[in-house]
Structure 1
Amino acid sequence: MLGPVLQTVESEGGTATVAVAVFLGQALAFLIACWIAKRSYDGYRDARRPPLLWLALGIALLAAVPTVLRFLLPTLLGASSVTTTVLASASEIAGLTAILYTVYGRP
């Protein structure tokens, strides 16, 4: 699983240690974002408060989805860096918009 990632980093002048550190950091960020989104969704299910649902969606789109896109698109599909960046940025913007709607809107 780390083979393509390690090869990419090493071919660009990095070391295997750096590749593993980056991978672990991204995995940790993904897990924390998923945990926060799940806790928000659980709060929504318990209280039926729509802002918590929008917050869960915003956190997922802001942190979890871009992490997955940045890792899976180039690794599995061979997507270009421009495509990956555009899709990840669009997800982040949608996540921030959902969070702003939670804070300033009337969900």
Structure 2
Amino acid sequence: MFGPLLQTVESEGGSTTIAVAVFLGQATAFVIACWIAKRSYDGYRDARRPSLLWLALGISLLAAVPTVLRFLLPTLLGASSVTTTVLASSSEIAGLVAILYTVYGRP
């Protein structure tokens, strides 16, 4: 499963240890973001406060979605780094806007 990913990193001058560390770091960030988003969504379901729903959406778009895009698009679809960066950055901006709406808006 990690063969093509590790070979890509090694062919660009990296080591297997660095590739595994980057993968584990990204996986950890994804899990933590999903856990925070789920807790926010659970709070929304209990209290029916729309601000918690916007917070869950913002955290998902800020951390979880870009992590998946940066990993899956090049690996599975062979997307270019420009495409991957634009899509991941767009998701991060949308997440920040959702969090700003939670803080300063009237959800």
How far 1:92 moved relative to its partner?
Answer: 0.1
1:32 is matched with which residue? 32
Shift of 1:4: 1.7
Residue 95 of structure 2 corresponds to 95
Deviation at 1:3, TM superposition (A): 1.4
| Aligned equivalent of 2:62 | 62
* TM-score relative to the length of structure 2: 0.99
Task: Tell me the secondary structure at the aligned position of residue 106 of structure 2.
Answer: coil
- Rounded to whole Å, the distance in 1 between the matches of 2:4 and 2:66 is 19
Moved >6 Å (runs of 4+): none
The CA deviation at 1:2 is 1.2
Aligned pairs for 1:1-107 (under 5 A) are 1-107=1-107
Deviations 1:65-106 (A, max 9, x none): 000000000000000000000000000000000000000000
Match for 2:28: what amino acid? L
- State the distance in 1 between where 2:80 and 2:59 align: 25
Q: Could you say what the CA RMSD is over the residues aligned between the two structures, in angstroms?
A: 0.4
What's the CA shift string for 1:16-45, capped at 9, x where partnerless?
A: 000000000000000000000000000000
Q: TM-score normalized by structure 1?
A: 0.99
How many residue pairs get aligned? The number is: 107
Task: Tell me which amino acid in the other structure corresponds to 1:80.
Answer: S
- Determine helix, strand or coil for the equivalent of 1:83: helix
Sequence identity (%): 90
Unaligned runs of 5+ in 2: none
